Amino acid sequence: MFKKLLVATAAMLLSATSAASISLSGLYEGTLDSHGAYTQDITTTLKGTSGNSTVTVVFDENFDIDDMYVETTTGPLTFKLGDFSGDDPDSVSISVTAIVGGFTVGLNQVSGGSTTFDVGGALAGITFNVTDVTASTRETTATYEVAGVKATVVHNTVAAGNNIDTTITTTLGGLTLSGNHDSNADGTSSNEGSVSKLLEGLGTVKVLLSKTSADVTTKEFSLTRGIWTGTWSKVGSADGVTSLKATLAF
């Protein structure tokens, strides 16, 4: 894997011309809990751009390659080739997208697999994305915003029935309010609500409460200031856990 990293990086750097640009970005997260356990994770993205083409390489915390793909635009078509599957399992795909009548339509094929047809856009004030339109198991995400209230619904069908996840958020009197209902085809569900507010000189305070259909309740209180988030959480009858998390995007 280390050799693969060296080859990918060298290929990008050696192929860069005076018209090309190299950019580096990422996200680091480290968490220390009240049991003294410290965990950390970092995702690093390296991009090389020349003209209308971009090569992207994404590394995990071990600097193994998670994703590696190229994007290029030819006329109205945008091509994307390589591994852009995110976390394992890895898969190599090719996708072609275009804007038709205000809608983004695309074809995506995993190497050795079948081709899916995806579409996204806005209609009657609703922004939507549909993955694998022709399949009965297609996933649809729809977002509608009116009078400061934003509603997002994610739906997909599986053999057991329908999975529906609904989230509503709004800001009222300086408070950010959020509610979520997740209903699964297997009959399980969960409800979650949160309230957060930015307090001058202190940071953002957030209170969250959730409950599953199995009567498992989660209570959480957090304070975020700069890159730091301190959290107290309690799941069911278990003891509460305190943690301090650092999040740094670069």
pLDDT at 142 over 50: yes
Residue with more model confidence, 124 or 106: 106
Give the separation between CA 143 and CA 125, rounded to whole angstroms.
9
User: What pLDDT, on the 0 to 100 scale, is given for residue 85?
Assistant: 86
Helices (H), the chain: 2-15
pLDDT at 250 over 50: yes
Per residue in 55-72, is it b (16+ CB within 10 Å) or e — as a string? bbbbbeeeeebbbbbebe
Give the separation between CA 153 and CA 217, rounded to whole angstroms.
23
In this prediction the pTM is: 0.79
User: pLDDT tier at 226 (50, 70, 90 boundaries)?
Assistant: very high
Average pLDDT, the chain: 90
- Per-residue pLDDT tens over the stretch 152-208: 999 998 888 999 999 999 999 999 999 999 999 999 999 999 999 999 999 999 999
pLDDT at 53 over 80: yes
User: What pLDDT, on the 0 to 100 scale, is given for residue 114?
Assistant: 83
* Sequence-ordered strand ranges (E) for 60-138: 65-74, 77-83, 93-100, 103-110, 115-123, 126-131
Give residue limits of the domains in the chain.
Answer: 1-70
User: pLDDT tier at 101 (50, 70, 90 boundaries)?
Assistant: confident
Average pLDDT over residues 112-123: 90
User: What pLDDT, on the 0 to 100 scale, is given for residue 102?
Assistant: 86
Angle among Cα 108, 50, 74 to the nearest 5 degrees reads 45
- Per-residue pLDDT tens over the stretch 2-21: 444 444 444 544 454 555 69
User: What pLDDT, on the 0 to 100 scale, is given for residue 170?
Assistant: 98
pLDDT at 71 over 70: yes
